[in-house]
Amino acid sequence: MTVKRVQKNKRSQRNRSKLKAVSNGRPRLSVFRSSKNISAQIIDDAAGKTIVSASSLDAALKAEVGKGADKAAAAKVGKALAERAIKAGLKDVVFDRGGYIFHGRIKALADAAREGGLNF
């Protein structure tokens, strides 16, 4: 692995270990950002299963998102994820930003998910 990938993995693991300590059994909202798209999923770590997911590549969102690599697309993905989570009966989650800085698209997704009704 390259040095940058190793450093990102270390940041991700450090962040997740801190989240486990404060999660109190809440599911984890995990975000993945690529250069062209963004996706998020809510994961139940106890069962090891994904409960809800949303992506800029979803058929339902792709038409209205258009380009998936901007803050507007991230906000729409966050809003869609929040709607799906509330429909599944989830309200409280723990936000896992992974190794990414809480800025730009990550922040836009988180703010939209909060506006959609998720608590974290």
- As its CATH architecture, domain 3-115 has 2-Layer Sandwich (3.30)
Closest CA to 97 of 111, 80, 115: 111
Question: Is residue 119 pLDDT above 90, yes or no?
Answer: yes
Q: Which two tokens stand for residue 41?
A: 């999923």
> What mean pLDDT do residues 62-79 have?
90
CB-facing half-sphere around the CA of 111: CA atoms within 13 A: 12
Q: Radius of gyration (Cα) for the chain, nearest Å? A: 14
Q: Please tell me the distance from the alpha carbon of residue 97 to that of residue 66, in angstroms, as a whole number.
A: 23
Q: Which residue has the tokens 């959609």?
A: 116
Question: Is residue 15 pLDDT above 90, yes or no?
Answer: no
> What mean pLDDT do residues 32-38 have?
95
> What mean pLDDT do residues 65-75 have?
90
Q: Please tell me the distance from the alpha carbon of residue 91 to that of residue 18, in angstroms, as a whole number.
A: 21
Q: How confident is the model at residue 101 (pLDDT cuts 50, 70, 90)?
A: very high
Mean residue pLDDT across the chain: 93
Question: Is residue 1 pLDDT above 80, yes or no?
Answer: no
Q: How confident is the model at residue 27 (pLDDT cuts 50, 70, 90)?
A: very high
Percent of the chain with pLDDT over 70: 100
Contact 27, 44 (CB under 8 A): yes
Q: Which residues pair with 49 in a beta bridge?
A: 44
Query: 68 phi and psi, to 5 degrees?
Result: -90, 5
